[in-house]
Chain A
Amino acid sequence: MQSPVLSWGLLMLLAGSSGAPALEVEVTDSEGTPLADAVVYLPEMAPPTLAEAAVVDQVGKRFRPLVTAVARGAAITFPNSDNIRHHVYSFSPAKRFELKLYHGVPAEPVVFGEAGVVTLGCNIHDSMVAYVRVLDSGVYGISDAAGRVTLPSVAGTVTRLRVWHPFLAGEEPEQPITSGSHSVQVAVPLDRALKAQIEAVIR
C-alpha cells in the first residue's frame, strides 16, 4: 500500500509522462559547439501570476550561478556563502540596485519587476560577474554543459522559442516550433571578444 501523498505524486508523474512529450532543445554556438548557460524561453507563454523565487549565491568571490533566468516579478535572494563581505550592484536599466552582504547577515530579496538583462557585479571584487535574464515569459530553461534544455510540453500552444546568452552577438535568435515536433536545435552567434573578456575575469 502506498501513502495517498506518494500515490498522488506518482499520478502527477504519470500524467506528465503520458501526456504530450516535452520539448528538447539543443543549443550550440554558430560553429555547432554545445553552448551552456543559454536561456531558452517561449515568448508566447505569459509569466506566472505568483512571483517566482531564485537564489544567486556568493561562493569563493564568484557569483553562483553565472546565469539566472526568472519571470518578471521574481524575488531573488543573495546569500553570502563566503565569510568575507560583498557589495552586489547592478547598473542595468531593467533593475538598478546595490546590496551589501555581510557574513551571517541575511539580506532582503531583490524584486526584478521589469523584463530585460541585468548584469551583476561586486564593488569589492573584480572576479564577480553574473547575469539575470528577466523574462516576459513563464516557460524557460537554461542549457546544461551539453547545451541541452528540456521545456515542459506546450504542444500546439506556441509557435516559436527564443534564446539569450550572456555573450550573445546581436539580437536573440528565434526558432520556429512546428506543431508536433519534440526537439529543436538552435544556434547562437557569440561575441568572442566579450566571451574572452568575461571568462578571464571569472576564470
Chain B
Amino acid sequence: MIHGNFAIGACFALVLALQARPALCVEVTVFEKLGGSAAIEHICNELVDRMVADPRGRRPFEDVRLDRLKKSLAEHLCHLTGGGCVYHGDPIPVVHAGLGITQAEFYILVEHLRGVLDDMSVTPGARNGLLALLAPFKRDVVEGRH
C-alpha cells in the first residue's frame, strides 16, 4: 500500500519534471496495453473497413473520405487511451451532428470493434479498457433518444 502510493507519487513527479509521457509509470495506459500506435491504426482501419462493408453499418459513411476519417479516428483514440496524441479534429458531437446515427448503428459499430479486438487477440483488460473509454461517447454519436 505504501509502496503503491509511493509509485504513483513518483510517477506524477516524473511527469511533472520531465513533461514526458508516463512511460516509466507503474500504471500502463490502455494505449500501451493495446499495442501502441500500430495497433491503434490497425483498429481504426479495420473498424472503418468493416463498417463500410456492412450494409447495416455503411450509411453514415457514404461519400466520406475514409482515409482522412481513419487518421482522425486513430488520433482521437490515441489521445483518449493515453498515447499522448493531440486530436486535431472537431469535437465528437459536432463530427456526428446531422448524421442521424441510430442506436442500432452505434451497436453495429461496437460489434465490429469487438470483432477487430478479438481478431487481434488483445487482452481482456485492453479490450474492456478501450470499450469503457468509448462508452460515454454514445450520447454524442446517437441522435435523439438514447
Contacts and interface: CB of A to CB of B under 8 A. Distances in A.
A124 B68 contact: yes
Interface residues of A, number: 14
Nearest to A84: B98
Taking chain B's interface residues, is the majority helix, strand, or loop, or is none over half, making it mixed?
Answer: loop
Contacts of B85: none
Contacts of A82: 98
A123 B68 contact: yes
B65 A126 contact: yes
A85 B65 contact: no
Nearest to B95: A85
Contacts of A126: 63-65
Interface residues of B, number: 11
A128 B64 CA distance: 10
14 contacts: A85-B90, A85-B98, A100-B90, A102-B94, A102-B97, A103-B98, A123-B65, A123-B68, A124-B64, A124-B65, A124-B68, A125-B64, A126-B64, A128-B63
Interface string B67-79: 0100000000000
Interface of A: 61, 82-85, 100, 102-103, 123-128
A125 B97 CA distance: 15
A124 to B, nearest CB: 6
> By CB atoms of chain A within 10 A, which of B63, B94, B99 has the most?
B63
A61 B97 contact: no
Contact of A83 (B65, B94, B98): B98
In the A-B complex, the 6 residue pairs with the smallest Cβ-Cβ separation, listed nearest first, are A83-B98, A84-B98, A127-B63, A61-B63, A125-B63, A126-B65
Given A83-B98, A125-B64, A128-B63, 20 more contacts: A61-B62, A61-B63, A82-B98, A84-B97, A84-B98, A84-B99, A85-B90, A85-B95, A85-B98, A102-B94, A103-B97, A103-B98, A123-B68, A124-B64, A124-B65, A124-B68, A125-B63, A126-B63, A126-B65, A127-B63
